[in-house]
């Protein structure tokens, strides 16, 4: 017997069929993983770019690590497909893309509030969103000290009541900021409050068009009243929902997230656009077992078998991004056949009832989300079941799940 300290961990494992495996390199598909189809992102980007037309720029929103798809992968694919610019939420997300060699315009959608953050933004050529005069002045000072113009976009609140200048002040503030020596005011934008559930499931129209209409009118009013020498001022307003539902919302650029990843803001959205979901979540079955009728399964015995059953344990749990609120509500696909998940979803594992598909063996792979043959499981289904939204479902897959780009 060797004791632990004598075992060389760079040893190769010789398997029964004579092949060797390097123990230092772990297989991303050994447990649970996310598969990302970068060609799908590229195609979605191309489809969206064609849809908005030549005169409108496409900003690919890749915040939250590209909605869980991997920001670098998504950014590169989107740009290949024709996206013009990138949008991120934080400074760190922007810097990460610069370090990955992306040199297009990047807009930081979140608020940067102090001179260190804004200095980094300048240094890494990231465009900050400015919602107050205080930060505009910091930018101007930084520009002066660094002998260059600080490129910014100004945000105006047209009814989201989050970031942005108050509509009543924006005219005055715009002139003030535009006159600052070391600022280049390159864009002005606003954000729509209506993104998803306000689209009618039958007509695919906005249920509350009056509110988007108000935001549109307010934004147009603001644009009419500002004066700038910059004839290339980039005006933008639409998210995915706005982009897909009304071309009057497009202006000079649209900022798309969800649709780039292949989803419509509501399920069954009728559209001619052939967007393709880019993400799959897969997990391996680690154990198959037969149990008697009336046996409690998992924590709290939330589920008891109603018959003699065959169960499969899958190596994925809520720490991997599958919300515990989905316990007992979802199904996974194996070879296109759906098998129901039973019992409470645990941190690292969950159980499926495979009585109806009893040929399943340990080591086989389940598709929890995405396409498997003819079967498609959408993040909309999960979010409907857990009181969430598809955006949140997608950006939960982080930390532990390796990503495999196909």
Options 244, 256, 322, 368; binder of ligand PLP; rule CB under 6 A: 256
Cα separation, 203 vs 170, whole angstroms: 36
Q: Is 191 in the site for ligand PLP (CB under 6 A)?
A: yes
Rounded Cα–Cα distance for residues 10 and 294 (Å): 47
**Contacting ligand PLP (CB under 6 A), which of 153, 255, 282, 403?**
255
258 binds ligand PLP (CB under 6 A): yes
- 255/310 with CB nearer ligand PLP: 255
Indicate the residue among 241 and 350 with the shorter CB distance to ligand PLP. Answer: 241
Q: 35 CB contacts (<8 Å, ≥6 apart)? A: 279, 280, 281, 282, 370, 403, 404, 405, 406
Query: Minimal distance in Å, beta carbon 75 to ligand PLP?
Result: 14
Using the rule CB under 6 A, is 279 a contact of ligand PLP?
A: no
Give the number of other Cβ atoms within 10 Å of residue 368's Cβ.
Answer: 25
Q: CB-based burial of residue 301 (10 Å sphere; 0-12 exposed, 13-18 middle, 19+ buried)?
A: exposed
CA angle, 128 then 129 then 133, to 5°: 105
Query: At residue 179, what are phi and psi to the nearest 5 degrees?
Result: -85, -10
Binding mask 327-356 for ligand PLP (x = CB under 6 A): ------------------------------
Candidates 72-80, 239-247, 295-303, 362-370 — which segment interacts with ligand PLP by CB under 6 A?
A: 239-247
299 is catalytic: yes
To ligand PLP, the closest distance from the beta carbon of 158 in angstroms equals 12
Site size toward ligand PLP (CB under 6 A) is 13
Residues in 375-404 that interact with ligand PLP by CB under 6 A: 391
Single out the residue of 389, 404, 393, 300 nearest to residue 351, CA to CA. 300
Among 43, 73, 239, 327, binds ligand PLP (CB under 6 A): 239
Give the catalytic positions in this structure: 63, 299
């Amino acid at each position: 017997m060797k004791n632990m300290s004598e075992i060389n961990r760079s040893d190769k494992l010789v398997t029964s069929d004579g092949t060797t495996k390097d123990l230092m390199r772990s297989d991303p598909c050994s447990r649970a993983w996310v598969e990302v189809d970068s060609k799908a992102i590229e195609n979605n980007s191309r489809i969206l770019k064609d849809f908005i037309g030549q005169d409108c720029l496409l900003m690919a929103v890749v915040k939250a690590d590209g909605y869980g798809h991997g920001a670098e992968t998504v950014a590169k694919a989107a740009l290949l497909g024709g996206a013009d610019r990138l949008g991120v939420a934080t400074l760190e997300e922007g810097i990460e893309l610069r370090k990955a060699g992306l040199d297009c315009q990047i807009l930081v959608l979140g608020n940067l509030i102090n001179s260190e953050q804004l200095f980094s933004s300048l240094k890494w050529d990231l465009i900050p969103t400015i919602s107050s005069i205080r930060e505009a002045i910091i930018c101007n000072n930084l520009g002066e000290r660094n002998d260059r113009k600080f490129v910014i976009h100004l945000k105006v609140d047209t009814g989201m009541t989050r970031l942005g200048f108050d509509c009543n002040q924006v005219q005055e503030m715009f002139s003030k900021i535009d006159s600052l020596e070391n600022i280049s005011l390159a864009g002005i934008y606003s954000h729509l409050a209506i993104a998803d559930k306000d689209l009618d499931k039958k007509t695919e129209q906005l249920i509350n068009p009056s509110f988007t209409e108000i935001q549109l009118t307010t934004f147009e009013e603001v644009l009419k009243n500002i004066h700038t020498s910059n004839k290339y001022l980039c005006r933008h307003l639409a998210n995915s929902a706005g982009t897909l539902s009304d071309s009057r919302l497009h202006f000079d650029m649209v900022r798309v997230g969800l649709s780039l990843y292949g989803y419509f803001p509501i399920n069954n959205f009728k559209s001619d656009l052939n967007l393709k979901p880019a993400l799959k979540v897969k997990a391996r079955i680690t154990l198959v077992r037969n149990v008697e009728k009336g046996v409690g399964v998992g924590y709290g015995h939330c589920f008891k078998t109603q018959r003699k059953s065959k169960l499969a344990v899958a190596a994925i749990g809520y720490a991997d991004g599958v919300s515990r609120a989905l316990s007992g509500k979802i199904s996974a696909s194996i070879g296109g056949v759906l098998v129901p998940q039973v019992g409470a979803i645990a941190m690292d594992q969950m159980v499926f009832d495979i009585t109806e598909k009893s040929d399943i063996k340990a080591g086989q792979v389940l598709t929890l989300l995405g396409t498997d043959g003819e079967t498609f499981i959408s993040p909309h289904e999960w979010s409907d079941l857990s009181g969430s939204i598809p955006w949140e479902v997608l950006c939960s897959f982080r930390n532990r799940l390796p990503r495999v780009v196909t």
